[in-house]
């Protein structure tokens, strides 16, 4: 008995060691692996549809699905990323040369404020609005420098990006082809009851699809519409501001309004009333309502996390995992909530199992033959 226990513990130690070693080997390519899994989860139902149409030809169905994903997802993302890098470089040049001066725009807004507003701000001790001008200009310059540095890093890491893209596509093919079998094997390794396994896997796939399919489609829609409105109003850097609105749209209670509201205020204060009114109405009635219209359709009420959980988990995910964190953060939050939802049931199941075991032990002892004393 002791030898068997020793062997089992030794095996667990070996299993932990080789698992850590394998994970350390995969870490340099974790973004490619992560997005391969995410895309496989999202396009899994579509692949099953193609698989059924083609008469259950696994390789051909996976290859066609991979081609479609490349055409509708990967190529547009690469094109937008390249255009955005050029846009960021141009934005940095305009800010660095003084062609785009946020401090000057802020000064125009302050100068256009009525005297009563200045007096009210003075009474609260915040009347020195122009002192913020230098800080705003410095912050804009630092922000543009950071974005320009990131754009340069993307250009310098082109080889690494190509390698990661190749790994993702290669892995995605096999995940599409063998995804069902791999999911069954992974679920079998979880030391839980079958019902709990199904619940966690269902929660995982639901959250991934809701986060990516729902939130990204909503964010892209708001970013595209906001960018087109900026183009219509003649605002420079419309692509950059549209992408910024798309990213901010991932954050509930914040959203794209952080971009278009200051621009609308600038228009209204500086006398461009028509542009200000158009942008305000478009932001409120179109950009603002997209979330309320599309989210119930794409995400669903049952899978929606509380807004404060989404906000905190998204910001935390971005801080820890970078750009991938806007999916990883809410995913971890959803799995955390799902596990704690299962906790009371697991406790109750464990209590009932122990009670049943004791009852069986008592019954077996009572039914054991008793020899009368000699």
Mean pLDDT by 10 residues, the chain (374 residues): 71 86 87 87 87 87 92 85 71 65 62 62 54 56 58 62 87 88 75 71 73 76 88 83 82 75 83 87 85 67 66 82 79 79 73 76 65 54
Contacting residues for 342 by C-beta, under 8 A, at least 6 apart: 196, 199, 200
**Residues 6 or more apart in contact with residue 100 via CB below 8 angstroms:** 91, 94, 140, 236, 237
pLDDT of residue 66: 93
Distance from C-alpha of 222 to C-alpha of 215, rounded to nearest angstrom: 11
Report whether 38 contacts 327 (CB < 8 A): yes
The span from the CA of 20 to the CA of 298, in Å, is 37
CA distance 96 to 145: 9
CB-based contact 298:214 (threshold 8 Å) = yes
pTM above 0.85, yes or no: no
Residue 259 burial (10 A CB sphere; 0-12, 13-18, 19+): buried
316: its two tokens: 């935390």
- Helix/strand/coil percentages in the chain, nearest 5: 85, 0, 15
Q: According to the model, what pLDDT value does residue 123 have?
A: 62
Backbone angles phi, psi at 334, to 5 degrees: -65, -40
Instruction: Return the structure tokens found at 70.
Output: 């490349």
């Amino acid at each position: 008995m002791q030898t068997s226990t020793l062997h089992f513990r030794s095996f667990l130690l070996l299993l932990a060691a080789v698992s850590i070693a394998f994970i350390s080997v995969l870490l340099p390519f974790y973004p490619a692996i992560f997005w391969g899994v995410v895309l496989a989860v999202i396009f899994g139902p579509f692949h099953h549809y193609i698989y059924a149409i083609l008469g259950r030809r696994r390789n051909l169905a996976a290859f066609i699905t991979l081609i479609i994903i490349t055409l509708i997802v990967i190529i547009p993302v690469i094109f937008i990323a390249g255009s955005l890098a050029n846009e960021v470089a141009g934005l940095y040049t305009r800010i660095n040369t003084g062609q785009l001066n946020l401090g000057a725009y802020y000064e125009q807004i302050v100068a256009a404020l009525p005297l009563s507003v200045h007096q009210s701000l003075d009474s609260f001790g915040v009347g020195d609005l122009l002192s913020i001008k230098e800080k705003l200009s410095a912050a804009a310059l630092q922000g543009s420098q950071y974005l320009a540095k990131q754009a340069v890093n993307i250009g310098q890491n082109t080889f690494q990006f190509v390698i990661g893209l190749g790994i993702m596509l290669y892995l995605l093919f096999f995940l599409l082809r063998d995804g069902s079998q791999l999911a069954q094997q992974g679920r079998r390794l979880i030391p839980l009851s079958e019902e709990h396994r199904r619940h966690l896997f269902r929660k995982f796939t639901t959250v991934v699809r809701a986060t990516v399919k729902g939130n990204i489609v909503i964010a892209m829609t708001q970013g595209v519409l906001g960018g087109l409105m900026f183009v219509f109003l003649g605002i420079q850097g419309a692509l950059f501001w549209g992408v910024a609105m798309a990213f901010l749209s991932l954050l509930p209670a914040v959203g794209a309004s952080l971009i278009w509201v200051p621009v609308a205020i600038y228009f209204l204060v500086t006398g461009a009333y028509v542009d200000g009114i158009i942008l305000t109405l478009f932001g409120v009635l179109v950009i603002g309502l997209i979330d309320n219209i599309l989210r119930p359709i794409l995400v669903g009420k049952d899978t929606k996390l509380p807004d404060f959980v989404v906000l905190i988990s998204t910001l935390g995910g971005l801080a820890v995992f970078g750009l991938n964190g806007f999916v990883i953060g809410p995913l971890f939050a959803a799995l955390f909530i799902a596990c704690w939802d299962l906790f009371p049931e697991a406790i109750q199941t464990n209590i009932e199992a122990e009670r049943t075991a004791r009852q069986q032990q008592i019954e077996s002892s009572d039914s054991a033959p008793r020899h009368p004393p000699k």
